[in-house]
Amino acid sequence: MLLNAFIPILLGIIVIWISAERLERYSVSTALNFGLSPFLIGSTVIAFGTSAPEMLTTFFAALEAKGTMIIGNVIGSNIANLSLVFGATLLVISIKKLTFIQEKLVLKNLMVLLISTGLVWLVISIDPFSIFSSLILLLSLLGVIFFWYTSGKNYSDAFSQETHENYLLLKLVLSLIFLVLAAWLITFGAMNLLTEFNLGEMFIGYTVLAIGTSLPEIAASTSLALKGRYETVAGTLIGSNIFNGLCVLAIPGLFNSEVISNSWNYKTWEPLLALLLIITLMFCGYIYTMTKKNKKVNLFVSLVFLSAYFLALGFAY
């Protein structure tokens, strides 16, 4: 029945929307209470929090040996972040006729994003589901975290104020449990959609999994834009995309499953990988120009980014 597909997906999306925000908040508060630096919290804890849904849905998809769905989740989430989420944020800023402000400190992270995107393409083109590929991605992630840590002196102290909530660890564990449940519900519903509609794994991974697991980024970016804190959106999306590419994509290779390796075809992904690279270059180019001169956002630019997502959606279908 269709209800067996849509109800779990809807429930999973609702639970992810609630639990991911709480996981991020409680992670930051707990880390601060343990004396971790604000930069390390921003670059690792928050990035982990926003990418946790992708990690968990990828884990459950790997258990079902759905390799194509896993790649669709990773590529779809990254394209959605830089086109759908960023485009929607620019749309809000343009409607409110605000000036986009971006500090030059983000430039180094733009280079990291471009390099990680190139590495993701290289790994997918060779063998994304081998243990060797997973080790390369995870070692690269550790290198990025070390780079962020050594650059921490330049990071904003936006999270430096310690909170005094009670039962933080308990709340943190409960948030993670609900996030796991939400990821399982979305994956379960996606599997049922495959059966009911006979849709391709690539399309399901790119749409249901990718959009469903990108809700934390969508919620966070929209909230920041509405509050006028849009200058921090770029950093959030950069961190999320790097974690998606280097951490989430590394998960299936740890299973070292031949079934997963044989369940997908690289050639079908070339158009979407090319589009991911183009959108990443567009994003980096736009942010770069904003560091040179603060100016109001053009409505046309926001529509270009939004249109890029729906163009990619057509390729996935």
pLDDT one digit per residue (tens) for the chain, 317 residues: 567 777 887 888 788 777 766 766 776 676 667 666 544 555 566 666 667 777 777 887 787 777 777 888 888 889 988 998 889 888 888 887 777 767 777 788 899 999 999 999 999 988 888 899 999 999 999 999 888 777 754 444 454 454 566 777 788 778 778 877 877 787 778 777 766 776 666 777 777 777 776 766 676 666 666 666 655 677 778 888 998 899 889 988 888 777 777 666 778 778 889 999 999 999 999 989 888 877 778 889 889 999 988 888 777 66
Count of CB atoms situated within 10 Å of the CB of 267: 7
Q: Which helix (H) or strand (E) holds 170?
A: helix 168-197
Question: CA-CA distances (angstroms) from residue 133 to 69, 148, 261?
Answer: 18, 23, 12
Percentages (nearest 5) of helix, strand, coil residues in the chain: 80, 0, 15
Q: What is the pTM of this model?
A: 0.79
- Angle of CA points 61, 83, 298, to nearest 5°: 165
Please report the domains of the chain, with CATH numbers, ordered by start residue.
Answer: 3-316 (1.20.1420.30)
E strand or H helix that includes residue 257 = none
